[in-house]
Chains A and B, each alone.
Chain A
Amino acid sequence: MESLWLSVGLASCVAAILLLVGVPLAYWVSQTRWRGKFLVESVIALPLVLPPTVLGFYLLVVMGDHSPLGKLWTAWFGHTLAFTFAGLIVASVLYSLPFAVQPLVIAFESVNSRLLDAAAVLGASRWRIFRQILLPLSLPGVITATVLSFAHTLGEFGVVLMVGGNIPGVTRTVSIDIYDHVQSLDYIAANRMAIALLFISFAVLSTIYAVNRRVWSPWPTK
């Protein structure tokens, strides 16, 4: 069960970081009129279509001792970023980025722009409009983004295997653990963990749908 707790810890850290990074990024994407915006959007969405092994491979290269970034990290911390928990966090943040940013962008863009105009005419600064109008009205999107990044990180396999390897207690996440058990034909242990993951995923998704239904039901409520 150690691997399950490791995964939950990783997913929680990633979800928290993605909330901090994703909200400003999504705000920028939803507000900017810059023509090159589509390039940024494409980069954010890249992990959706890229095979996880490809993303993991490049991350491994960047974290390695031959890249400038890798050298810098080693110089500061005395070891490489790859095959550590911190390295897993960095990789997972990038891998789950679209799952945080896209619901946030959709939520921000679906707030009636006239409300933001009204607030501006009433003298509210951009920061106050963001804090008191845009963010509260986008709350379902914020919850969706957080829960999705948590769930997506919980289930990742390819990127983790490439960047983290398989170190018990450090980088052996639940999906890798399941894979190990299957490899050693221990189907009972694999099943125990797979069922736990299945229930967590279901609970997470039903939370999203329940929350969204209550706050802004897409269907008319009776």
Chain B
Amino acid sequence: MADQVTAQNAIRPARLEAQLRFKRHGDPADAFELNVDFQLDPGIAILFGPSGAGKSTLLDCIAGLLRPATARIVLNGEVLHDSALQTFLPPQRRRLGYLFQSPALFPHLTAEQNVAFGLNDLTEGERASRVPDLLAAFRVEHLASRKPSEISGGEAQRVALARALATSPRAVLLDEPLKGLDAELKSAIVDDLRAWNRIRQLPILYVTHQRDEVDALGERVIALDRGVIVAEGSPHAILDAPRKKRLAYAAGFENHLSAVVQDLRESDGVMRVRMAGSQTELEIPLGYAVVGDRVHIAIRAGDILLATHEPHGLSARNILAGKLASLEFNGATVVCRVDAGAVFLVHITLGALHSLQLSAGQRVWLVVKTHSCHLVED
């Protein structure tokens, strides 16, 4: 009988369903309500949203570390929490892998003992064979006998990942697991994680607001804002054309402009808008608006071109004359502040800065493609 059940589970893909409402009381500034309904299929789903959106709270509810007043959480047909049925499995019995924002390694145990902690039910021999494999899968086998205080942040994060996945979890929750790591290390860990899940096909809920991680990992993005799911879809649909202003900030759109619709050219699929408080006009993709409506536009600073002479013969429809107000260095990127009716932020490379011989106060032109302008809701 038990074998039949296992066989059935093997055929039926894993699935995590969650509907829950969680209220945090307290003073009004801190009050918060989470209200979500979603399901996860095998593969990595990105949970994306600005800080304070409720991402970590949601993960804690699924793991059973928080007990929302109203909830129905079902994993592969097994009820983990059903407030109507008064069923609540404690975190110990949910068999989930959960990696917090901090590695939370047990400081008095070695890396090896940390990974083995969740394998208490196995025999000594089984543990001895499983732990080295896990450490090797995340390339930290050389740290086996070190204490958490003796390893780097990135290494600690890998050990924590190995520990979370050691217990053969049925679903995995990862809360910004690669925060603060450099790009090369990130993509190595991402590859290891993908390889690990290739044969297991578990649902993985992965919290991040890093654009590169979304591009590398996500098959699906769930966007959370102020406790509710505001969008769900492919990474491209959510992050390249975010429909919410707050989400646009989180997705890295540096320019947010307020404008009034001047006229609609439905046959061309565009409309013209005039920026608030100036005469500058922009052509943007046609949106659901009428003449006179106030709209919000988001533009990535990296999507705007900067020219020192007025450009001609370009396909781009928006060429704005302005003045370079200031230059600021941010690593290999130079942030230019350009006053062209409204203030635009433009990112250019150090090389571009040198070859254009830019200096503050100079006259410049901005080139913005129509489809680089995204309409967002307030």
- Chain A contacts to B: CB under 8 angstroms: 112, 114-115, 117-125, 128, 132-133, 136-137
Contact = CB atoms under 8 A, between A and B. Distances in A.
A121 B65 contact: yes
Nearest to B160: A118
A136 B102 CA distance: 21
Given A119-B117, A122-B117, A122-B164, 18 more contacts: A117-B91, A117-B100, A118-B163, A119-B106, A120-B65, A120-B90, A121-B96, A121-B97, A121-B98, A122-B118, A123-B93, A123-B95, A123-B120, A123-B121, A124-B118, A133-B106, A137-B106, A137-B108
- Of the listed residues A112, A119, A122, A133, the one surrounded by the most CB atoms of chain B closer than 10 A to its CB is A122
Decide if the interface of chain B is mainly helix, strand, loop or mixed.
loop
Contacts of B118: 122-124
A143 to B, nearest CB: 15
A122 B167 contact: yes
B330 to A, nearest CB: 31
A124 B92 contact: yes
A46 B138 CA distance: 53
A123 B167 contact: yes
B107 interface: yes
B120 A124 contact: yes
Nearest to B90: A120
B104 A123 contact: no
Contact of A118 (B93, B104, B121): B104
B174 interface: no
A128 B106 contact: no
B122 to A, nearest CB: 11
B120 A128 contact: yes
Interface residues of B, number: 24
A88 B65 CA distance: 45
Contacts of B94: 121
Contacts of B106: 115, 118-119, 133, 137
Contact of A121 (B63, B102, B108): B63
A117 B117 contact: no
Contacts of A121: 63, 65, 91-92, 94, 96-98, 164
Contacts of B90: 120
A124 B90 CA distance: 11
B164 to A, nearest CB: 8
Nearest to A216: B107
Contacts of A125: 92
Nearest to B65: A117
12 contacts: A112-B104, A114-B100, A115-B107, A117-B100, A117-B104, A120-B90, A121-B63, A121-B98, A122-B117, A123-B121, A124-B117, A137-B108
B160 to A, nearest CB: 8
8 tightest CB-CB pairs across the interface, nearest first? A122-B118, A120-B91, A114-B104, A118-B104, A121-B98, A121-B91, A136-B108, A123-B92
A119 B65 CA distance: 11
- Of the listed residues A117, A119, A125, the one surrounded by the most CB atoms of chain B closer than 10 A to its CB is A117
A118 B101 CA distance: 11
Nearest to B93: A123
B100 A120 contact: no
Nearest to B94: A121
Nearest to B102: A114
B120 A118 contact: no
Contacts of B96: 121
A31 to B, nearest CB: 14
Contact of A137 (B91, B107, B167): B107
